[in-house]
Chains A and B, each alone.
Chain A
Amino acid sequence: MKRSDKAVSETIGTLLLLGISISLFSVIYFSVMTIYPISATPSVNIICSFNDSNIIIEHRGGKTLDLNTKFIVTIDGNGEKFTVKDYLTSDFKANGVWNVGEQVIYPVGDITNKKVSVSVIDEHSNSVIMMVNIKE
């Protein structure tokens, strides 16, 4: 009888270890499988300039961006949010994206002695893709 008891103990031990192993594996497996792939910041060159009371933001090559790409213009601490489609030249809206060579022209007015900063934010990756301070 004693010999039989030992076998039961070893069998239960083995089953428990197997159960723990499978549970652990399942937890890790589902954790890995459900990782949401982080969208990378798009590789894009954007340049910002100021001319004739306008802030000009130009796509200078790289990935095309969505027309809903946001930009924030902050003047003396007061920020205003826009999307690219609000100020993209009408000829450029037809292709449905913000592509190389296309300009966003924002009429900012006189910025003499004002602190002006411009940020461009990609919604898809939720990342800042350009940030610049303009001084006139």
Chain B
Amino acid sequence: MIKKFIKPDEGLVGIVVTVLVIGLVIVVTGIVQSVYMPQWLEQKEAEHMHMVSYQFAQLKQSLDILSVIEQENAISIYITLGTPEIPIFGTGRTYDDLNILTNNCSIEVSNDSSSYSFSLGTVKFTSQNSYFVDQSYIYEAGALMLSQGSAGILNGKPFLSVSNFTNVSFTIINISSFEGKKIAGGYGTYSIYMEYVNSSYYTINDLRYINITTNYKNAWRTFFNSTTLKYSLLTYEINDIDEDVISVEFSESLGNLVIKVSEISVQIAPGWIE
């Protein structure tokens, strides 16, 4: 009888230890999920933004090359949208957006009597990060910008040169697209197909104003404060004339401005339209 009474106790330690170990595993998993996982995910999202930064540098390089060679050629580059999830835990996947925006920026140049106005298309990447700060990369009129919250910086300059001290050459790149080929969103690697269309040249004498309507005034201000204009003989002032308009006013009507506008057709999403 005593033996029968003792027998059930033999497994008790094993059961209790098993329950405790399971509890311990749950606690450790909980700590990893709540403390360490956010740090890993933030790091992964930051790495993804670095990759997008590099890919947008390639985008600018390709568009600049197409504008320079002025031949009917096409180049494709690839943009990675979204961050993959962490293996085993299966969490952390994010989804991003890539858009071609038409008439999102405009540039107006004028002297005292005449003016030219160009309405331009842009390429915009918008992240939807869960842990890392949200960023947007924008290719606008030949400039590459990074926008983060309300702040923005210039990552790549458009072509602007000053010759004979006061004559200015300015290349603007206009992005055009087709309906249905302007938006890609989600997760994965998407190609951007860029095809040169044409270039037009405009000359304006006695340049007085360059007005840019943009969402990224800080970046354009950095551009106009850059060395090309700063160390020329041009004297100018940069003013905010509206919430989204930045104006460069040349105090003397010095020199001429030659503007080259290259139109490049850009398509995202598969199924190319010829």
Chain A residues proximal to chain B, CB less than 8 Å = 3-4, 7, 10-11, 14, 17-18, 21-22, 25, 28-29, 32-33, 35, 37, 40, 43, 60-64, 99-102
- A7-B6, A22-B16, A37-B35 known; 6 new pairs, CB 8 Å cut-off, are A7-B2, A21-B16, A33-B31, A43-B43, A61-B49, A61-B153
Among B46, B53, B149, max chain A CB count under 10 A is at: B46
Q: A25-B20, A32-B31 are in contact. Are A14 and B151 (CB under 8 A)?
A: no
Once the chains bind, are A3 and B24 in contact (CB under 8 Å)?
no
Q: Does B218 contact A (CB under 8 A)?
A: yes
Interface size class of B (residues with CB under 8 A): 20 to 34
Q: Which residue of A lies closest to B44 (CB)?
A: A43
Query: How far does the alpha carbon of A88 sit from the alpha carbon of B207 in the complex, in Å?
Result: 36
Q: Does B9 contact A (CB under 8 A)?
A: yes
Within 8 A of A (CB), among B1-40: 2, 6, 9, 12-13, 16-17, 20-21, 23-24, 27-28, 31, 35-36, 39
Q: Could you write out 24 A-B pairs with CB less than 8 Å apart?
A: A3-B2, A4-B2, A7-B6, A10-B9, A11-B9, A17-B13, A18-B13, A18-B16, A22-B20, A25-B23, A29-B23, A29-B24, A29-B27, A35-B31, A40-B43, A60-B153, A61-B135, A61-B146, A62-B46, A63-B132, A63-B133, A100-B146, A100-B152, A101-B151
Shortest CB–CB separation between residue A83 and chain B, in angstroms?
21
Chain B residues proximal to chain A, CB less than 8 Å = 2, 6, 9, 12-13, 16-17, 20-21, 23-24, 27-28, 31, 35-36, 39, 42-43, 46, 49, 53, 132-133, 135, 146, 148-149, 151-153, 218, 222
**Number of residue pairs spanning A and B whose beta carbons lie under 8 angstroms apart:** 74
Residue in contact with B24 in the complex, picked from A18, A25, A61, A99, CB distance below 8 Å: A25
Inside 8 A of B135's CB, which chain A residues have their CB? 61
Inside 8 A of B31's CB, which chain A residues have their CB? 32-33, 35
Query: How far does the alpha carbon of A18 sit from the alpha carbon of B12 in the complex, in Å?
Result: 9
Query: How far does the alpha carbon of A15 sit from the alpha carbon of B16 in the complex, in Å?
Result: 11
Shortest CB–CB separation between residue A103 and chain B, in angstroms?
10
Residue in contact with A101 in the complex, picked from B35, B43, B153, CB distance below 8 Å: B153
Q: Which residue of B lies closest to A25 (CB)?
A: B20
Once the chains bind, are A40 and B42 in contact (CB under 8 Å)?
yes
Once the chains bind, are A100 and B148 in contact (CB under 8 Å)?
yes
Once the chains bind, are A99 and B27 in contact (CB under 8 Å)?
no
Q: A37-B35, A61-B148 are in contact. Are A14 and B9 (CB under 8 A)?
A: yes
Once the chains bind, are A43 and B132 in contact (CB under 8 Å)?
yes
Shortest CB–CB separation between residue B230 and chain A, in angstroms?
11
Shortest CB–CB separation between residue B114 and chain A, in angstroms?
35
Once the chains bind, are B42 and A43 in contact (CB under 8 Å)?
yes
Inside 8 A of B53's CB, which chain A residues have their CB? 61
Inside 8 A of B12's CB, which chain A residues have their CB? 14, 18
Query: How far does the alpha carbon of A99 sit from the alpha carbon of B152 in the complex, in Å?
Result: 10
Residue in contact with A21 in the complex, picked from B13, B28, B222, CB distance below 8 Å: B13
Once the chains bind, are B17 and A21 in contact (CB under 8 Å)?
yes
Inside 8 A of B148's CB, which chain A residues have their CB? 61, 99-100
Once the chains bind, are B20 and A100 in contact (CB under 8 Å)?
no
Query: How far does the alpha carbon of A40 sit from the alpha carbon of B53 in the complex, in Å?
Result: 22
Once the chains bind, are B27 and A37 in contact (CB under 8 Å)?
no
Q: A61-B146, A101-B152, A101-B218 are in contact. Are A40 and B16 (CB under 8 A)?
A: no
Inside 8 A of A100's CB, which chain B residues have their CB? 146, 148-149, 151-153
Once the chains bind, are A33 and B27 in contact (CB under 8 Å)?
yes
Query: How far does the alpha carbon of A40 sit from the alpha carbon of B23 in the complex, in Å?
Result: 28
Among B31, B135, B148, max chain A CB count under 10 A is at: B148
Inside 8 A of B20's CB, which chain A residues have their CB? 21-22, 25
Once the chains bind, are A32 and B24 in contact (CB under 8 Å)?
yes
Inside 8 A of B6's CB, which chain A residues have their CB? 7, 10
Among A28, A60, A61, max chain B CB count under 10 A is at: A61
